Amino acid sequence: MKLMRLPTLLGLLGLVLLSPAAMAAYVDKDPSSDCSVRVHYPASIPSAAETFVVAVGTAMSRSDYDFLAAQLNGKGYVVVAMDHARGNMVKTDAGKFQACANLVKANIAGWLAPHGFSTVAHWIMGGHSAGGQAAQNAISANPALTDAIFSIDPYNLSGAGTVTGPALYWGFTTTTCFVDVDDAAKAGYYGTGGQRVLVRVKKKYSFGPCGYSPKYFHCSFCDGHCPGCTNCMTTPNHFFVDVGNTVQKFINAAFYGTWSKANLTVATTTPVDFFVDSDAP
């Protein structure tokens, strides 16, 4: 009998934690040899839908962010998990990010028209890990690419270009998976002019499959785990719920309400601190 790899097994265990009813539909598209996307859409797409483009991290693929996408779909958002360097484990190329993002923008109406999609209300682009670095540099070079930024623990932004908000970053107080906390989401926050938010997860350790490890870490945003990361803690469902709720607050404050720390802060099960605009992490 063929043995199941640990990351695959843990991913299946994660599926048990997430209600099947929460898993939305998706279509997979390959608009170019470099560009591979999974477009997640809610059961009822708003006439004007907020549309997220989340670039994948190192050695990751479009199929690794289904749980996160499901939570955002539940808010009525369309989510594109974008592999802009298909077949290459390195995902830091800003040029490939921009090229793939432009293909998404040009084709999404046709891809989702059969499912009731009408138009994009706002584009929100960013990425996880290396994909976040690619996004930061691409948006810095071409601010018109997106209306806002959403990046989750982007990798090594200390030398990335400066961007203009509104921008939302999720990060950590503990360095995990070789992603230095001072060069990741914190650096993205400081590298953003204008409206900016950093949701920083507090340090918390617990016992898991790989021993005593941070409960929340760099790869918590993925369905399974990242290659090369020694932590294999299964992400609790409430983490994805908390990310989804902070994203909804961010969208409402940025485009439909008043921008303030009070309007951007939400109660979470995950232990976090919120930093907004002039706050110093």
Q: What is the pLDDT of residues 189-230, one digit of tens each?
A: 999 999 999 999 998 877 777 777 777 777 888 898 777 777
Q: pLDDT category, 17, cuts 50, 70, 90?
A: very low
Q: pLDDT category, 86, cuts 50, 70, 90?
A: very high
The letter for the amino acid at 84 is H
Q: What is the pLDDT of residues 158-191, one digit of tens each?
A: 889 999 999 999 998 887 677 888 889 999 999 9
Secondary structure string (H, E, C) spanning 165-230: CCEEEEEECCCECCECCCCCHHHHHHCEECCEEEEEECCCEEEECCEEEECCCCCCCCCCCCCCCC
Q: What is the CA radius of gyration of the chain?
A: 17
Alpha helices per DSSP H over the chain: 6-17, 66-73, 94-112, 130-141, 185-190, 237-251, 261-264
User: Per-residue pLDDT for 101 more than 80?
Assistant: yes
Cα distance between the two ends of the chain: 51
Topology, domain 29-276: Rossmann fold (3.40.50)
What are the boundaries of each domain within the chain?
29-276
Residue 29's pLDDT is: 98
User: Per-residue pLDDT for 21 more than 80?
Assistant: no
Q: Which residue has the higher pLDDT, 230 or 139?
A: 139
Output the average pLDDT for the chain: 88
Task: Tell me if residue 126 falls in helix, strand or coil.
Answer: strand
Q: What is the pLDDT of residues 29-73, one digit of tens each?
A: 999 999 999 999 999 999 899 999 999 999 899 999 999 999 999
C-alpha span between 195 and 149 (Å, rounded)? 10
Question: pTM for this structure?
Answer: 0.89
